[in-house]
Copies of this chain bind each other. A is one copy, B any other.
């Protein structure tokens, strides 16, 4: 009886490394299509499907944060922190910064419970214009 491998681990591939590298190199949230285009342009041939698959798994594993823009596109960013936190995203260039949110969690819990809701979670995104973009404007 040939005891087969555990079957469940991730395998190291050129494409996976390239996708993680692209995410790590960017201070902004990026879409699957942007990453795909970037890899192709840089000579790293990779299927769009594969990019989607890796981003999805990275998100499931909690390695990247997912942001759904007001327009609907889903964007990903490699996060410095693995704690729960939120982002401030530049409306013009996409650059984002992270911030924690103790007061926010308290507020959400308090309000939700007072209205009879349990199992509370919250989604917060703050948008603005970053210093660079403001300078470039004028």
What is the interface of chain A, defined by CB distance below 8 A to chain B?
68, 70, 72, 74, 88, 90-91, 97, 99, 101, 103-104, 107-108, 111-112, 115-131, 134
Contacts of A118 in B (CB 8 A): 128-129, 134
Q: Which residue of B lies closest to A95 (CB)?
A: B117
**Shortest Cβ distance from residue A107 to the other chain B in the assembled complex, whole angstroms:** 6
By beta carbon, the residue of chain B nearest A106 is B103
CB-contact partner of A88 in B74, B97, B117, under 8 A: B117
- Contact across chains for B128 and A121 when beta carbons are under 8 A apart: yes
Q: Which residues of B contact A124 (CB under 8 A)?
A: 122-124
Residues in B with CB closer than 8 Å to A131 are 116-117
Cα-based distance from A124 to B112 in the complex (angstroms): 13
Whether the Cβ atoms of A99 and B121 lie closer than 8 Å is no
Is B91's CB under 8 angstroms from A112's CB? no
CA–CA, A90 and B91, complex, Å = 29
Report chain B residues within 8 Å CB of A129.
117-119
CA distance A131 to B112 in the complex (A): 11
Ranked 9 nearest A-B pairs via Cβ? A117-B128, A116-B131, A120-B128, A97-B115, A119-B129, A122-B126, A112-B128, A108-B126, A124-B124
